[in-house]
């Protein structure tokens, strides 16, 4: 019942908070019956709901980061009879291509988390959560675009055209901000208000927020491990995490403001790729399926997760090459939705499932990479962490037999049998992120080139996938004097991949 009430509150307050975000202009003729300021326990779940929508899909069914990244990583394709993903298959990276990943983050999620960060001292726990979630979003923006508005962003009343900051400088400041958030949590007086059910991620458990902050740090630091000249910096920052002592997340991090099987209340990922509130398969669920390449990869490595990531049709698993047109196959109707492997029960759990934003599997694989002998930033066993990452992936999907799977003497499956340990870690992370948080695999691929031999769509204009997005047309129109020269989407890698 608490979740239902909480979600209803989120829906009612969404419009209020959008109105509130412009309150600097509304300082006269205030109606006391319609307040322009909302308490933090009402801001927080709305901000988190925005995060879920940005990462998964909008409530209205719009594609977001999940679709883009799974298509970039050759996980997903398109059933026969649909023209859902033609722009993605043709790599038509323009100023309008997935522009919502920029346009909707700043005025929605980041704006509300900034409202939390700017609260008075009695709400220090909320301030810290706002700081942590801002770091979460800003890192992803850097990973998608490189240089972005940061130090002058979210100050529309005084700085309507913010400058663009250097991507690496932002990365370093995010570590500082996350450290400050942890320090703030550690020093909050007892009488300060603590989040409770209004926190749709951790239910007000501030130890878990500290672990999440450290895990975002881990993601930021791991991303830089392929760079030269960063060893001393990384060593110092990993030492600081160890000294702080809270550790990393021990479970998948998901947002759930009370999703349920009702109109406009379902999990956004399920609502787009699963069924509507009446139980009818959506058109996008029918259109979206596996590529044959990813199915072959999972089959050839005896990976039981195949039946959980992708559904198994009556005639067995079947995928579609990206970019395949009706006239390219001599077999009529072979790739119709009921014959291909659409998204499976391990990722489409139901309308009330949480919206995952950071998996335990990824956290374990990031730790494994940091612990590799060539890195040595964590005093831990990389093999154990690697196997724990696989086990976490199996657990999330509901699959069994993890130890049998990684016990195989097979390259990029069994740790000891893998010739290149980093390749094994990144490859297993790619499988674990498939259909969940695949953007992390896309960033890893740009950084490492793993998984190896990843195909491109049949009619792709280049031999490899994009490495970044274009700055959106809205930003060029509104802030053109500060927008950097548009980088090449296929060759201008983000700083950590150079």
| Beta bridge pairs of residue 78 | 288
| Residue 41 contacts residue 195 (beta carbons within 8 Å) | yes
Roughly what angle, to the nearest 10 degrees, separates helices 124-145 and 206-223? 20
The CA-CA-CA angle for residues 340, 344, 350, to 5°, reads 135
In the chain, what are the helix, strand and coil shares in percent, each to the nearest 5? 50, 5, 50
* Element (DSSP H or E) covering residue 224: none
Buried b (16+ CB within 10 A) or exposed e, 127-159: bbbbbbbbbbbbbbbbbbbbbbbbeebbebeee
Give the chain's count of helices (H) and strands (E): 20, 6
Domain locations in the chain as residue ranges: 1-58+104-260
Residue 68 backbone phi and psi in degrees, to 5:
-55, -50
In the block, residue with structure tokens 């080139």: 449
Long-range contacts of 422-427 (CB under 8 A, 24+ apart): 422/369, 422/372, 422/448, 422/450, 423/448, 423/450, 423/451, 423/452, 424/386, 425/365, 425/368, 425/369, 425/372, 425/382, 425/386, 425/389, 426/365, 426/369, 426/450, 426/451, 427/451, 427/452
Distance of CA 392 to the CA centre of its chain: 17
Task: Give the tens place of pLDDT for each residue, 181-203.
Answer: 999 999 998 777 899 999 999 99
Q: How far apart are CA 21 and CA 36, in angstroms?
A: 9
Q: How far apart are CA 198 and CA 190, in angstroms?
A: 19
Q: Which of 256, 263, 261, 284 is nearest to 272 (CA)?
A: 284
Q: How far apart are CA 496 and CA 447, in angstroms?
A: 7
Q: How far apart are CA 361 and CA 251, in angstroms?
A: 9
Q: How far apart are CA 419 and CA 159, in angstroms?
A: 52
Predicted local distance difference test score (pLDDT) of residue 24: 31
The β-bridge relationship of strands 253-255 and 148-149 is unpaired
DSSP state of 485: P
Q: CATH assignment of 1-58+104-260?
A: 1.25.40.390
Task: Give the tens place of pLDDT for each residue, 49-97.
Answer: 999 999 998 867 788 999 999 999 999 999 998 999 999 999 999 999 9
Q: How far apart are CA 464 and CA 59, in angstroms?
A: 32
Q: How far apart are CA 75 and CA 306, in angstroms?
A: 12
Distance of CA 324 to the CA centre of its chain: 28
Could you read off the pLDDT tens digit of each residue along the chain, which spans 498 residues? Answer: 445 434 544 444 444 444 343 333 223 333 433 445 678 999 999 999 999 999 998 867 788 999 999 999 999 999 998 999 999 999 999 999 999 999 999 999 999 999 999 998 889 999 999 999 999 999 999 999 999 999 999 998 899 999 999 999 999 999 999 999 999 999 998 777 899 999 999 999 999 999 999 999 999 999 999 999 999 999 999 999 999 999 999 999 999 999 999 999 999 999 999 999 999 999 999 999 999 999 999 999 999 999 999 999 999 999 999 998 765 666 668 899 999 999 999 999 999 999 999 999 999 999 999 999 999 999 999 999 999 999 999 999 999 999 999 999 999 999 999 999 999 999 999 999 999 999 999 999 999 999 999 999 999 999 999 999 999 999 999 999 999 999 999 999 999 997
Q: Which of 186, 143, 122, 173 is nearest to 55 (CA)?
A: 143
Cα separation values, 152 from 134, 162, 369, Å: 14, 5, 34
Q: How far apart are CA 327 and CA 305, in angstroms?
A: 32
| Residue 425 contacts residue 419 (beta carbons within 8 Å) | no
Buried b (16+ CB within 10 A) or exposed e, 410-424: eebbbbeebeebbbb
In the block, residue with structure tokens 């209205």: 60
Of the CA atoms within 13 Å of residue 483, those in its CB half-sphere come to 17
| Beta bridge pairs of residue 57 | 63
Q: Which of 471, 469, 355 is nearest to 69 (CA)?
A: 469
Q: Which tokens in the block code for residue 198?
A: 């209004």
For residue 451, say if its preceding peptide bond is cis, omega within 30 degrees of 0. yes
């Amino acid at each position: 019942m608490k979740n239902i009430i909480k979600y209803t509150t989120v829906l009612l307050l969404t419009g209020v908070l959008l109105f509130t975000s412009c309150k600097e202009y509304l300082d006269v003729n205030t109606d006391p019956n319609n307040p322009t300021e909302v308490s933090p326990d009402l801001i927080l779940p709305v901000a988190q709901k925005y995060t879920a929508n940005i990462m998964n899909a909008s409530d209205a069914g719009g594609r977001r980061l999940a679709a883009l990244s799974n298509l970039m990583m050759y996980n997903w394709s398109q059933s026969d009879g649909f023209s859902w993903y033609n722009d993605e298959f043709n790599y038509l990276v323009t100023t309008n291509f997935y522009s919502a990943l920029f346009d909707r983050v700043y005025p929605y999620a980041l704006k509300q988390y900034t409202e939390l960060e700017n609260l008075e001292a009695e709400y220090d726990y909320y301030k810290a959560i706002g700081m942590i979630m801002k770091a979460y979003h800003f890192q992803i923006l850097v990973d998608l675009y490189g240089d972005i508005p940061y130090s002058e962003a979210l100050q529309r009343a005084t700085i309507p055209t913010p400058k663009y900051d250097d991507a690496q400088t932002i990365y370093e400041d995010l570590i500082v901000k996350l450290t400050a958030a942890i320090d703030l949590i550690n020093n909050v007086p007892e009488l300060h208000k603590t989040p409770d059910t209004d926190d749709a991620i951790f239910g007000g458990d501030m130890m878990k927020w500290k672990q999440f902050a450290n895990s975002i740090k881990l993601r930021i630091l791991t991303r830089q491990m392929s760079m030269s000249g960063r060893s001393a910096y990384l060593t110092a920052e990993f030492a600081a995490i160890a000294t702080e002592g809270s550790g990393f997340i021990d479970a998948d991090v998901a947002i759930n403001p009370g999703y349920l099987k009702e109109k406009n209340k379902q999990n956004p990922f399920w609502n787009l790729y699963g069924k509507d509130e009446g139980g009818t398969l959506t058109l996008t669920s029918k259109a979206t399926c596996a590529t044959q390449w990813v199915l072959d990869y999972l089959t050839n490595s005896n990976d039981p997760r195949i039946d959980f990531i992708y559904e198994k049709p009556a005639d067995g698993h079947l995928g579609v090459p990206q970019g395949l047109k009706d006239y390219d196959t001599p077999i009529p109707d072979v790739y119709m939705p009921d014959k291909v492997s659409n998204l499976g029960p391990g990722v489409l759990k139901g309308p009330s499932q949480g919206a995952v934003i950071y998996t335990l599997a990824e956290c374990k694989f990031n730790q494994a990479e940091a612990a590799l002998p060539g890195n040595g930033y964590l005093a831990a066993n990389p093999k154990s962490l690697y196997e724990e990452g696989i086990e976490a992936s199996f657990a999330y999907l509901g699959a069994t037999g993890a130890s049998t799977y990684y016990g195989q003497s097979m390259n990029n499956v069994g740790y000891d049998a893998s010739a290149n340990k980093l390749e094994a870690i990144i490859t297993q992370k790619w499988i674990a992120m498939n259909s969940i948080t695949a953007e992390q695999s896309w960033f890893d691929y740009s950084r490492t080139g793993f998984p190896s031999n990843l195909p491109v769509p049949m009619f792709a204009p280049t031999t490899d996938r994009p490495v970044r997005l274009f700055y959106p047309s809205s930003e060029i129109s509104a802030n053109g004097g500060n927008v950097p020269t548009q980088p090449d989407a296929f060759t201008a890698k983000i700083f950590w991949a150079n």
